[in-house]
């Protein structure tokens, strides 16, 4: 396959073929991930924790994200490049448009934004201006203090229904992709069925359209206790690229995530 595009992700969904996503922060790892077959790379604000040593993603700036986006864009091969808008980029529509424009000029091909249904006007404003949007729902790490920690979202029926409704609303506003983080597997399945666009999960069960993990988690270099939804794919393998390929294959064959990785 040539360079992965949104059209490919939509085709994967129609064919019920899972696709693989992974964070990347520099040219070398992006190149190895692409060579291993990874479909989507994310320059995530997770860099604040795994690269900068912060306790959350909140200190990450637009300049930080831009720097790493340019690095990954230079190194990536076939993978679609998704990039996070950092904390408070969604302060208002003018800020969203400014920051998303900067990311696209740096090499982003899909811009990810955290929030909920209230972001529909900003999502519409972005898509009207040619910026493809991934709407991040469920556990949104930029709201960690509001949530009172990194907790599974959507366990209660009302909360689950709200997430489904938010996904529909944001897709109606133009979102090209939904990303769900830390939700029960049944909710991941419900959102997948509720929208026509691809749904990517991290800790969202096996039935979503794509899976994403933080690169450091699959290489076993997580600081502290790894999250339940992660797996060390480097264990028993002799190279980073082999770990990336094993992760990609496990996603494609639906061997990952397994029951022990789900909520």
Point out the catalytic residue in the list 109, 181, 259, 260: 181
- Please indicate, yes or no, if residue 152 is contained in any of the structural domains: yes
- Could you give the 3-state DSSP secondary structure of residue 1? coil
The model's pTM: 0.97
- Please indicate, yes or no, if residue 128 is contained in any of the structural domains: yes
List the domain range (segments joined by +) for residue 169: 6-261
- Please indicate, yes or no, if residue 116 is contained in any of the structural domains: yes
- Please indicate, yes or no, if residue 202 is contained in any of the structural domains: yes
CATH number at residue 35: 3.20.20.60
For 207-251, what is the HEC assignment?
A: CCCEEEECHHHHCCCCCCCCCCCCCCCCCCCCCHHHHHHHHHHHH
Q: Is there a cis peptide before residue 228, judged by omega within 30 degrees of 0?
A: no
pLDDT in tens, 44-55: 999 999 999 999
The predicted model gives 20-40 an average pLDDT of: 98
pLDDT at 147 over 90: no
pLDDT in tens, 148-189: 888 999 999 999 999 999 999 999 999 999 999 999 999 999
pLDDT at 1 over 70: no
CA distance 146 to 148: 5
Tell me what pLDDT residue 2 has: 82
- Please indicate, yes or no, if residue 1 is contained in any of the structural domains: no
- Please indicate, yes or no, if residue 147 is contained in any of the structural domains: yes
pLDDT at 62 over 70: yes
- Please indicate, yes or no, if residue 157 is contained in any of the structural domains: yes
Number of domains comprising the chain: 1
181 catalytic per annotation:
yes
Tell me what pLDDT residue 150 has: 86
Tell me what pLDDT residue 146 has: 86
- Please indicate, yes or no, if residue 218 is contained in any of the structural domains: yes
């Amino acid at each position: 396959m040539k360079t992965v595009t949104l059209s490919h992700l939509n085709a994967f969904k129609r064919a019920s073929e899972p696709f693989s996503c992974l964070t990347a922060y520099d040219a070398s790892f992006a190149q190895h991930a692409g060579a291993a077959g990874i479909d989507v790379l994310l320059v995530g604000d997770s860099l604040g924790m795994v690269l900068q040593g912060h306790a959350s993603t909140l200190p990450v700036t637009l300049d930080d994200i831009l720097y790493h986006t340019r690095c990954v864009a230079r190194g990536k091969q076939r993978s679609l490049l998704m990039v996070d808008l950092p904390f408070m980029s969604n302060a208002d529509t003018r800020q969203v448009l400014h920051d998303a424009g900067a990311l696209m000029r740096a090499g982003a091909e899909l811009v990810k934004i955290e929030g909920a249904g209230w972001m529909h006007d900003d999502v519409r404003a972005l898509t009207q201006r040619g910026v493809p949007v991934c709407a991040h729902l469920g556990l949104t790490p930029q709201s960690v203090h509001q949530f009172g920690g990194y907790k599974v979202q959507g366990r209660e029926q009302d909360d689950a229904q709200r997430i489904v409704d938010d996904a529909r609303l944001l897709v109606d506003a133009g979102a090209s992709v939904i990303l769900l983080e830390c939700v029960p597997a049944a909710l991941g399945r419900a959102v997948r069925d509720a929208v026509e666009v691809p749904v990517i999960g991290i800790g969202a069960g096996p039935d979503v359209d794509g899976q994403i993990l933080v690169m450091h988690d699959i290489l076993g270099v997580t600081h502290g206790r790894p999250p339940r939804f992660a797996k060390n794919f480097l264990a028993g393998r002799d190279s980073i690229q082999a770990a990336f390929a094993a992760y990609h294959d496990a996603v494609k064959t639906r061997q990952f995530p397994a029951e022990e990785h789900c909520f």
